Structures are given as structure tokens and as C-alpha cells.
């Protein structure tokens, strides 16, 4: 590991880090995690340059592992779950100091975080975010929900921005907005699934303003009031995509198409919700693989021709 730590900033190491004998198994696991849990993102990242592609797998692998600690509680008590997150936080602090780890997920993330200068604040904020699902099952205002969206989604985009490369620091501001857009999309897609787990992410004050009762969601009553509120939330998500998309041109040219494609693929979920008349109780919507391929190819061609 001493040789590994000393090699982190060398150009030779950066060209092949995922093939290092002591790291290749960890990076392959990160790739498999990404392919399993983030099909749209994995699809969009599939033809990034190899160095950036494998680095994104490492970042996503860490994020998903952290998220699963709470989303898949495995019979653990809240105290035990908090202890797991705290153990990961301590490992994170050590990794940033040493550049290495024996943790199966951190083993790939640690060298990537050091090589690409990923701000530790983003990773620590993610850990704060994953525990919010143990602390909150309702949000009173959108401002409160925004904090959740930032911690569980925007920080992923902020970490990815360091990996993908950028020409201006303002790229991070747009990445934050893109993350919020994608998390809002998740929330709107998963209203039915979330309520089955006792969670309603739609802000209470907005539900009250639109005349939506909590029981309308719990009992799956698709009222005109709920339709109006869902439409409002979809339009809000579109606004955040519009904001986030403005930052794509600030990424390195070789990375732009992947984020542009991911944005359009995820935004396609909103289109599907619109096609269903904003009814969140008709099962989970998804973008077909053929449509994903079409969007990805369009972005590749557009980027190569026009930048």
C-alpha cells in the first residue's frame, strides 16, 4: 500500500489505476454496484474515457453503499445503523489522510478521491443525508426538502464534477441544481413506493396549499388537487434541470455528452409522469433501453459536431 499511496499523483498510475493488482477487484465491484443500482447513469457513463469512467464507478459505489446502510437496514436497530454510518465516516477521514483503505468500497473510492481532489465535505454531507431517512418521514417545507435533496443527490454530482473535469468553478453550482432535479424526479416517480414505507416527501405546506390530504396519498386517492400538486412539482423539477443543464458546457468536452444524456434520460421520467396524467399510483415509470440508447447517441454526435 505504501507504493500505491506514493503513486497516486503520477500520470502513469492515473492512466491505469483501475487495473492495479491490489485495486482491480474493488473497482470491478464498484462497476457492478453502479450497473445494478443506477442503470440510467451506468448507461450514460458507459463510453466515457476509461479513466473517468472507472473513477465514476468508484464514486457511485461509495455513495450507493452509504445509502444502502439505511435503505437496507437488515434487522439492525437505529443505534446500530448510526454506528455503521459513523464507522464509515471515520474510515472516510482516514482515507483522505492516507489515500488507501481495506474497506471493500472505500478501497476504490480512496485513491480516486485523492487523485481528483474531491472535497471531503461532499462525502461527509452524503453521510448526513443518508441518516435523514431515519430522522424524517415528512418535510414541512421545500426548503427542508432541498437540504435532503442536496445531501443525497447534489453532493454526488459535485463529486462527479471533480472527476469529469471542468473549466470554471461555477460548474459546481450547476451540478448542485442538477442533483436536486434528479432527486425530485426520484421522489415524484416513487410516491407510491415511498408511502408504502411510511414516507411522504412532498412538502406539507404545499400539500395544504393545494388541498391535498396525507390520506389521499396513503390511500392512493388520485384527486384533482393531487394532480395539480404533482404537476406543480414536475414543473419545478423541469426548472432545476434547465438550471443544471446550463453547466454542462463548463465540463470537459469528453464528459459533456454523458451528463447531457443522463439529464435527458432522467428528465424522460418526468415526461412519462406527464403522459400518465401525473398519477403517481400506476406503478413505477421508466425510460426504455432503446430510448436511452437513442438519447445517448444523439448527445455523442452533438458533442462531437458542435462541442
Residue 113 has pLDDT above 80, yes or no: yes
Which has more pLDDT, 139 or 4? 139
| pLDDT digits 0-9 by tens, 221-274 | 999 999 999 999 999 999 999 999 999 999 998 898 889 989 999 999 999 999
Which of 61, 96, 127 is the C-terminal boundary of a domain?
Answer: 127
Yes or no: say if 119 and 142 are a contact pair by the CB < 8 Å rule: no
Residue 161 has pLDDT above 90, yes or no: yes
Which of 127, 161, 183 is the C-terminal boundary of a domain?
Answer: 127
Q: What per-residue confidence (pLDDT) applies to 2?
A: 40
Q: What per-residue confidence (pLDDT) applies to 45?
A: 86
Mean pLDDT of 1-26: 68
Residues 123 and 184 both lie in one domain: no
Mean pLDDT of 208-222: 96
Domain of 221, CATH number, reads: 1.10.600.10
Residues 71 and 194 both lie in one domain: no
Residues 235 and 304 both lie in one domain: yes
Residues 140 and 27 both lie in one domain: no
Q: Three-state SS for 247?
A: coil
Residue 303 has pLDDT above 80, yes or no: no
% of the chain at pLDDT higher than 70: 93
Residues 177 and 102 both lie in one domain: no
Domain count of the fold of the chain: 2
Write out the H or E segment, with its range, that includes residue 4.
helix 2-7
Mean pLDDT of 127-137: 93
Q: How far apart are CA 130 and CA 155, in angstroms?
A: 12
| pLDDT digits 0-9 by tens, 55-111 | 999 999 999 999 999 888 788 899 999 999 999 999 999 999 988 899 999 999 999
Mean pLDDT of 43-51: 85
Residues 143 and 122 both lie in one domain: no
Residues 18 and 90 both lie in one domain: yes
Residues 153 and 298 both lie in one domain: yes
Q: Three-state SS for 251?
A: strand
Residues 148 and 284 both lie in one domain: yes
Residues 140 and 288 both lie in one domain: yes
Q: What per-residue confidence (pLDDT) applies to 85?
A: 96
Tell me which residue has cell 455528452. 257
Q: What per-residue confidence (pLDDT) applies to 291?
A: 84
CB count in 10 Å sphere of residue 71: 11
Give me the domain span that covers residue 153.
Answer: 136-307
Which of 127, 154, 189 is the C-terminal boundary of a domain?
Answer: 127
Residue 285 has pLDDT above 60, yes or no: yes
Q: What per-residue confidence (pLDDT) applies to 3?
A: 43
Residues 230 and 278 both lie in one domain: yes
Mean pLDDT of 196-209: 96
Q: What per-residue confidence (pLDDT) applies to 10?
A: 55
Mean pLDDT of 182-206: 96
Residues 22 and 159 both lie in one domain: no
Residue 155 has pLDDT above 50, yes or no: yes
Mean pLDDT of 13-23: 82
- Quick one: cell of 195? 408511502
Closest CA to 164 of 45, 286, 16: 45
Q: What per-residue confidence (pLDDT) applies to 39?
A: 83
Q: What is the pTM of this model?
A: 0.91
Which has more pLDDT, 39 or 51? 51
Residue 301 has pLDDT above 90, yes or no: no
Yes or no: say if 176 and 64 are a contact pair by the CB < 8 Å rule: no
Residue 6 has pLDDT above 50, yes or no: no
Q: How far is CA 230 from CA 51, 105, 143, 273, 275, in A?
A: 40, 37, 18, 9, 12
Q: What per-residue confidence (pLDDT) applies to 23?
A: 93
Mean pLDDT of 100-124: 94
Amino acid at each position: 500500500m505504501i507504493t500505491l499511496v506514493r503513486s497516486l499523483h503520477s500520470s502513469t498510475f492515473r492512466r491505469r489505476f483501475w487495473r492495479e493488482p491490489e485495486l482491480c477487484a474493488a473497482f470491478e465491484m464498484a462497476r457492478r454496484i453502479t450497473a445494478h443500482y443506477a442503470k440510467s447513469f451506468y448507461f450514460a457513463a458507459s463510453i466515457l474515457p476509461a479513466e473517468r469512467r472507472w473513477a465514476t464507478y468508484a464514486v457511485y459505489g461509495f455513495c450507493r453503499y452509504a445509502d444502502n446502510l439505511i435503505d437496507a437496514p437488515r434487522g439492525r436497530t437505529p443505534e446500530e445503523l448510526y454506528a455503521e454510518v459513523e464507522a464509515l465516516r471515520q474510515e472516510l477521514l482516514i482515507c483522505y489522510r492516507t489515500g488507501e483503505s481495506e474497506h471493500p468500497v472505500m478501497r476504490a473510492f480512496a485513491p480516486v478521491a485523492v487523485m481528483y481532489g474531491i472535497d471531503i465535505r461532499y462525502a461527509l454531507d452524503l453521510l448526513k443525508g443518508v441518516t435523514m431517512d431515519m430522522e424524517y418521514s415528512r418535510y414541512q417545507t421545500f426548503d427542508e426538502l432541498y437540504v435532503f435533496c442536496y445531501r443525497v443527490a447534489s453532493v454526488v454530482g459535485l463529486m462527479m464534477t471533480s472527476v469529469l473535469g471542468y473549466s470554471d468553478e461555477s460548474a459546481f453550482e450547476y451540478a448542485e441544481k442538477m442533483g436536486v432535479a434528479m432527486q425530485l424526479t426520484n421522489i415524484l416517480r416513487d410516491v407510491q413506493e415511498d408511502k408504502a414505507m411510511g414516507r411522504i416527501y412532498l412538502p406539507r405546506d404545499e400539500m395544504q396549499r393545494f388541498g391535498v390530504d396525507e390520506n389521499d396519498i396513503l390511500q392512493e386517492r388520485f384527486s384533482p388537487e393531487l394532480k395539480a400538486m404533482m404537476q406543480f412539482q414536475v414543473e419545478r423539477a423541469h426548472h432545476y434541470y434547465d438550471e443544471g443543464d446550463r453547466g454542462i458546457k463548463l465540463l470537459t468536452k469528453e464528459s459533456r455528452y454523458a451528463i447531457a444524456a443522463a439529464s435527458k434520460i432522467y428528465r424522460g421520467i418526468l415526461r412519462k409522469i406527464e403522459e400518465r396524467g401525473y398519477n403517481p399510483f400506476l406503478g413505477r415509470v421508466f425510460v426504455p433501453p432503446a430510448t436511452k440508447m437513442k438519447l445517448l447517441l444523439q448527445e455523442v454526435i452533438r458533442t462531437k459536431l458542435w462541442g
